[in-house]
Amino acid sequence: MSSHGRVLLNSAAVTALLREPYFYLILGIISLIVGVVSTCTGVVWARFGRVIYRAKQPKEFWEDVVACYLIGLCFIGYFLYQVYGR
């Protein structure tokens, strides 16, 4: 702990979080957050740097948002399999 009351992460703590099973959990949570933010704002960042708006291209927008949710769920499911399924 530093003198200002803040907790400092050392390299061992960061390395422990980036190991095999937790890496998938982090990717899954990030993907779900991207899906939620895209749903709320109506804007999604698509492949190749494109921006898709819900009002202009609803079909493409919802395809990319659903892909974010499914990718997130797959990563979290794989994490749960790695931790509890073996």
Number of domains forming the structure of the chain: 1
Q: Is residue 70 one of the residues assigned to a domain? A: yes
**pTM beyond 0.75:** yes
Q: Is residue 44 one of the residues assigned to a domain? A: yes
Q: Is residue 6 one of the residues assigned to a domain? A: no
Q: Is residue 67 one of the residues assigned to a domain? A: yes
pLDDT in tens, 8-52: 667 776 676 667 788 999 999 999 999 999 999 999 998 888 999
Sheet strands (E) in 18-84 = 43-45, 51-53
Domain that holds residue 57: 19-85
Q: Is residue 57 one of the residues assigned to a domain? A: yes
Q: Is residue 34 one of the residues assigned to a domain? A: yes
How many of the other CB atoms lie within 10 Å of CB of 42? Answer: 14
By the 8 A CB rule, do 24 and 78 touch? yes
Q: How confident is the model at residue 5 (pLDDT cuts 50, 70, 90)?
A: low
pLDDT in tens, 71-83: 999 999 999 999 9
